Amino acid sequence: MILISEVGPRDGLQSIDRVMPTEAKKRWIAAEAAAGVREIEVGSFVPPSLLPQMADTAEIVAFAKTLPGLNVVALVPNAKGAARAVAAGVHGMSIPFSMSETHSLNNVRKSHTEMLAEIAKVAAMAHDAGVHFAVGLSTAFGCTLEGAIPEEQVVRLAAAAYEAGVREFSLSDTTGYADPAQVRRLVRKVRDAVGDALTTLHLHNTRGLGLANALAGLDEGITTLDASLGGLGGCPFAPGASGNIVTEDLAFMLHAMGYDTGIELDALMKVREIVAEALPGEPLYGFTPDAGLPLGLADRVG
């Protein structure tokens, strides 16, 4: 089974200026869970002064935890945010560790050395609280501020984070620079350093290669793919980094290929209406919602 992890309520909403009403967020999350989405990144524990879109994350976590079978996760920027996430009762939390030091300084105001110390603190905190902890190796495929990131640097920093206590990683194409050959190559190299702790790809479709990169990751044994409903998302601290993989298109592709995701496609398509109503005029992307599901899809999936 392939896990599609919905990141729209965090990555999507943090990238737009408007603040989605809390009740609309709850309807969105409940509808996706009802459609069979098993993991949702419901928000981030960052200071509301920086991202007012995330000010209600603790309330959203409390609501999401009432939904049967849903793994409720949140992003944290540091140990202080992790403490808030633990207090809110998240099932899991992740911290972004930028492979570009320039991006790291812009995003979380910390150097690589400082981030590794922070990661060690959060890993210990998560262990003590029984909360799952993962690290997203962001800008792993390139950075709009630094350009190409040496693959050896990504491997070295991943290994250092593993030594700091991290037991799950994602490779994140924060800026939409990745291509399928690079995905295959970097997954193999990072796996050599951290083994099966690398489970996830967080890909953007900025240059139209999101689904191709996802397939490359699947070929290398990746089992979790992040995606955002309607393709909402980006990174406010990486200029030009727009466009997460569209959840609807990814789910369709996987179903059409015979992968089991546990998601009911018809129900997933209808979730889009909730987001469109709450964010009128906000661009939503995706080919499958516009074209509709092909006749006979269920027969082909089996």
The pairing of strands 3-6 and 169-172 is: unpaired
| Token pair listed for 254 | 């996987």
HSE (CB half, 13 Å, CA atoms) of 79?
13
Going by C-alpha positions, the residue among 30, 50, 250, 285 that lies closest to residue 42 is 30
DSSP H helical segments within the chain, as ranges?
22-34, 57-64, 79-88, 101-107, 112-129, 151-163, 180-194, 210-219, 247-256, 265-278, 287-291, 297-301
* 3-state class (DSSP) for residue 74: strand
Catalytic residues: 235
Distances (CA, A) of 15 to 109, 158, 198, 216, 221: 19, 26, 26, 27, 30
| Residues comprising the chain, all counted | 302
Distances (CA, A) of 38 to 33, 97, 210: 6, 25, 21
| Token pair listed for 101 | 């030091």
HSE (CB half, 13 Å, CA atoms) of 219?
13
